Structure 1
């Protein structure tokens, strides 16, 4: 079955699924819409963590141990920064700095984040289309029992320890979808839209908060399938399970389905949890993505579910 595949993604789990999709579909058929609510300015540099994680993963440059950052990274810059008593809570590797410096330079020269991201993807021969959710600044802020924290302060500096009370996306109401985002979702040639097993609240909700994107998803013709981030009643990586508990939710696929109500048509869940209690169409597979074959398997299962929904 041919046609465009659109994937909403953020974080390490999302990048793994996009890599899986590239194993089962021609890369030129894939459009990845990436969370930029994590983006921030640090030491004068424009940092786009989820875009960079995707670029590193798809180009084979990601750290195998961490899933983020570059394999074989060196830290001379950080060592020099620490010697000057500079802020060292957010690690900037020497190779990583190339993306941040060049991105910052291009943005300061008037380029959009979309154009910068496309240039990087082309330079590394990735083949697929990578779109930031918006070229406008949208910043995720987390209200916690330790106060209001910008996302990276919560996620990196505080290591997700403070209990979360609420989440907001500063600037979202004024933001516009990046060029190509609405077109990809609405394209009659799009055969499936997949929501990656990214954190629904911290990685996917910022995308849905940009005016026009949720509405386009509601009006689209292609089936929308979400891959649950829950495996065996827990999250594989990151604060998803902890966050759900703090928001008063059970760590269940039912809670994931309810969160995406009105957006998705079906949910792909892990075999350890099964589909018991789900009242939407679903399929079951092993959703752990440790190897490239695993990632391809999960991608194929998501597309098979979408095809089943499409009839």
Structure 2
């Protein structure tokens, strides 16, 4: 498998963890990580790309391991001073993290694309894998709730995911195109597999799949497409996945995850806690330990996903 290239779709902390495991196994330039940018927003005059930054910090070994996001050994003088001035402090920007947002904003205003900027920043931090924003166009996740329609960060951070979710939409997706690097990655003749990381399907992967033509390119790829379920025993490891599923009237289980990706995936990876669900699926399932507590867990799960994909070559997509 490592002789070819591998594409992974990712967003959020769970996705970044598996991406880090894959990055440790794949040769330089052979792992292409397509990342959600529906969470991006402007704050304090700066362009913030939370999922891109979580991925960059994780792959560069700079991430705050306790939170799974932000930089380790962070200081907060800026936020303290901002609060003293009466500024908005609900979205916390650490002093070191601030440099990322300032530099991204400067480059965007100078005319560079998000893809170009992301590639440059990744190289500066010695990341060997390709980090590819899903699009260079503006797409924004909006969450329709009992508290009204909220921008994603208002729902996720300011209101701590407390409002009840009624629907999710992706403003701008209808006019957005996949970034050029994304298309090249999916059309690479050396592509061997596509892995959907254990990210929130509704908030992290669906924005990516909403981009014009992207879902179709993945669904018709001549390589195995494998999803790693973010649900373990009816619960999400981190974040509001299970809560959102319940509020949308979706069963909180890995069967529902497989159904959500029906027609897109060839196989799914389940945790041991969900072993009993494997026989109810119409697609192959790998049952293993999907909880990633440490680097060894990430690398082991990544290795198992790569081996699973290698076993699936030649199989047709059956659905879930």
Which category describes the TM-score, using the shorter chain as reference length? over 0.9
Q: Are residue 106 (structure 1) and residue 122 (structure 2) matched?
A: no
Contact 2:200 2:241 in 1 (8 A): yes
Alignment match, 1:120:
121
Q: Are residue 284 (structure 1) and residue 284 (structure 2) matched?
A: no
Match of 2:318 in 1: none
- Asked whether the equivalents of residues 232 and 254 of structure 2 are also in contact (C-alpha less than 8 Å), the reply is no
Corresponding position: 1:192 with 2:193: yes
Q: Is the 8 A contact 1:235 1:241 kept in 2?
A: yes
Counterpart position of 1:161:
162
Q: CA deviation at 1:281?
A: 1.1
Ranges in structure 2 where 5+ consecutive residues have no aligned partner: 315-320
CA displacement, residues 177-199 of structure 1 (integer Å, 9 cap, x when unaligned)? 11111221122210010000000
- TM (norm. structure 2) is 0.96
SS at match of 2:29: helix
Structure 2 CA distance for partners of 1:251 and 1:27, relative to 1, 3 Å: farther
Q: Tell me which residue corresponds to 2:57.
A: 56
Find the counterpart in structure 1 of residue 71 from structure 2. 70
**1:230-309 map, 5 Å:** 230-274=231-275, 275-309=278-312
8 Å Cα contact 2:232-2:253 kept in structure 1: no
CA distance in 2, matches of 1:186, 1:224: 14
- Measure, in 2, the Cα distance between the counterparts of 1:270 and 1:223: 20
Counterparts of 2:25 and 2:69 in 1: how far apart (Å)? 23
Give the match's secondary structure for 1:237.
coil
- Where do 1:1-20 residues align within 5 Å? 1=1, 2-20=3-21
CA deviations over 1:248-289 (Å, ceiling 9, x no partner):
011111100010011111000101111242221111010000
Deviations 1:114-173 (A, max 9, x none): 010001000011111110000011000000011000000000000000010000000001
C-alpha distance in 2 between matches for 1:56 and 1:22: 13
The alpha carbon displacement at 1:218 in A equals: 1.9
CA contact (8 A) 2:233 2:253 kept: no
For structure 1, the residue ranges without an aligned partner over 5 or more in a row are: none
Alpha-carbon distance in 1 for matches of 2:298, 2:28: 15
Q: Which moved more, 1:16-25 or 1:54-63?
A: 16-25
CA RMSD of aligned residues (A): 0.8
Moved over 2 A (4+): none
Whether the 8 Å CA contact 1:7–1:33 is kept in 2: the answer is yes
1:267 counterpart SS class? strand
C-alpha distance in 1 between matches for 2:218 and 2:296: 29
Deviations 1:275-311 (A, max 9, x none): 2422211110100001111001111111122111115
> Is the 1:186–1:221 Cα contact (8 Å) retained in structure 2?
no
CA shift at 1:37, angstroms? 0.2
Distance 1:180 1:88 in 2: 35
Note the alpha carbon deviations across 1:86-124, whole angstroms, 9 max, x for none.
011100100010000000000000000001000100001
TM-score, normalised relative to structure 1? 0.98
